[in-house]
Amino acid sequence: HDMNMTYWMILFTTSCFANLLGLNISAGLDSAVTVYILIPFLLIPQILLSGVIVRYDKLHPLINCNEGVPLIGNVMTSRWAYEALAVEQFSNNPFEKQFYREEAVMSQATYKKDWWIAAMREKTDRLERMMTNKASRDSMNVPLTILRTELGNELALNGAKKNQLISQLTYETVNTGTISALRNTIDELREYYIEKFNAANEAKESKIAKMTSGKDGEAEFLAMKNRYENESLEEMVRNSNQSERMVITNDKIIQRFEPVFHENPNEIFKKAPMFSYSKNVFGCKMKTLNVNIFVIWMMSLFLYLTLQFDVLRRVLRAFTKSR
């Protein structure tokens, strides 16, 4: 409801790409039978690899990646269009957009205090055991690298304190004082995110209280919620039907918790998770809707150039001659 222009913009952009793709096929192939045979090979991947039917994290390890969307997904126009539709409908419908900021802060705080903090404590304890047992450099470098990376990306930490702590997280310099400082820092971060969650929750509740005040306020609030809220969509963009909240590699912790609220200023564009609300493009934070539409138009421009210079026919001729 009430998102006609958004839907039209995304679907029109996708239709332009589809038309240019069809024109390339028509211009490059002489046989109608060949065209009919080729069409399913172009459409089926767009359906299967759009991120809807098959989740990217369920793909074969050879084509999957822990961070972001795999390359095979990024070359699918349907992936960019569907993500834009899903994110916009969830976050910018007339009901949800009133609470999105508060829910985003609550989600990020929940991830940090309930999952990330626990992982950081586990790595700290593991590092302490390795120090006690005089483990090898290679073994200790794994928790040291994770701790350095995660603390380096933590915006809530004071710059000077952060740099001092990170500088101590090397095989040569780490000691019991470093472990103690790490634990204190992690405890402070947990308290910080608890306070942040509580403040955002109070702000959201205050908005709801204003909306439900008055004679028919509660009934109007529920009617509006029922009109715009989509439980299946919410489950998908929040990733709430998956038990995996994070992935821990040998150098970092990758968030899988509620990707639509995910936000990491240090994360490059191509590593943003599917259904993230915003993406970092050349250091600038941009809405997923704008980024994805731009990507599809760039794909359309590429197809326009291949059509203009008859690239498909030339490639086919070169391939035929080589055989």
Q: d(Cα 88, Cα 298) in Å, to the nearest integer? A: 21
Confidence of residue 55 (pLDDT cuts 50, 70, 90): confident
User: Helices marked H in the chain — which ranges?
Assistant: 4-28, 32-48, 71-74, 77-91, 100-111, 117-132, 137-152, 159-168, 176-212, 217-228, 231-238, 288-308, 311-322
Per the rule left: phi > 0, alpha: psi between -120 and 50, beta: everything else, 134 is left
Partners of 287 in beta bridges: 278
Point out the least confidently predicted range of 116-120, 136-140, 319-323: 319-323
Q: Three-state SS for 281?
A: strand
Asked whether the beta carbons of 16 and 80 are under 8 A apart, the reply is no
Point out the least confidently predicted range of 43-57, 120-134, 168-182: 43-57
Give residue 62's pLDDT: 82
Helix or strand run (H / E) with residue 286: strand 284-287
Q: d(Cα 152, Cα 138) in Å, to the nearest integer? A: 21
The DSSP result for 75-101, as a single string, is T-HHHHHHHHHHHHHHHSSTTGGGTHH
pLDDT averaged over every residue in the chain:
93
Give residue 252's pLDDT: 93
Give residue 230's pLDDT: 93
* Average of per-residue pLDDT across 42-47: 93
Nearest to 296 by CA among 5, 19, 2, 1: 19
* Cα-Cα end-to-end distance for the chain: 55
Indicate if the pLDDT at residue 138 is higher than 70.
yes
* Average of per-residue pLDDT across 40-45: 93
Residue 176: Cβ-neighbour burial (10 angstroms; 0-12, 13-18, 19+):
exposed
Partners of 104 in beta bridges: none
Confidence of residue 243 (pLDDT cuts 50, 70, 90): confident
Residue 295: CB atoms within 10 Å: 19
Asked whether the beta carbons of 288 and 279 are under 8 A apart, the reply is yes
Asked whether the beta carbons of 130 and 155 are under 8 A apart, the reply is no
Q: d(Cα 24, Cα 312) in Å, to the nearest integer? A: 7
Kindly state the percentage of the chain with pLDDT values over 70: 99
| pLDDT per position as a tens digit, 189-229 | 999 999 999 999 999 999 999 999 988 999 999 999 999 99
Q: d(Cα 112, Cα 122) in Å, to the nearest integer? A: 14
Give residue 199's pLDDT: 98
**How far does CA 53 lie from the centroid of its chain?**
18
* Average of per-residue pLDDT across 46-66: 86
Give residue 282's pLDDT: 83
Partners of 246 in beta bridges: 255
Give residue 323's pLDDT: 65
Kindly state the percentage of the chain with pLDDT values over 90: 77
Give residue 254's pLDDT: 93
Q: d(Cα 271, Cα 265) in Å, to the nearest integer? A: 11
Give residue 289's pLDDT: 96
Long-range pairs, 219-224, Cβ under 8 A, ≥24: 224/94, 224/95
Asked whether the beta carbons of 136 and 168 are under 8 A apart, the reply is no
Give residue 161's pLDDT: 82
Give residue 43's pLDDT: 93
Eight-state DSSP code of residue 260: G
Tokens standing for residue 287:
């809405």
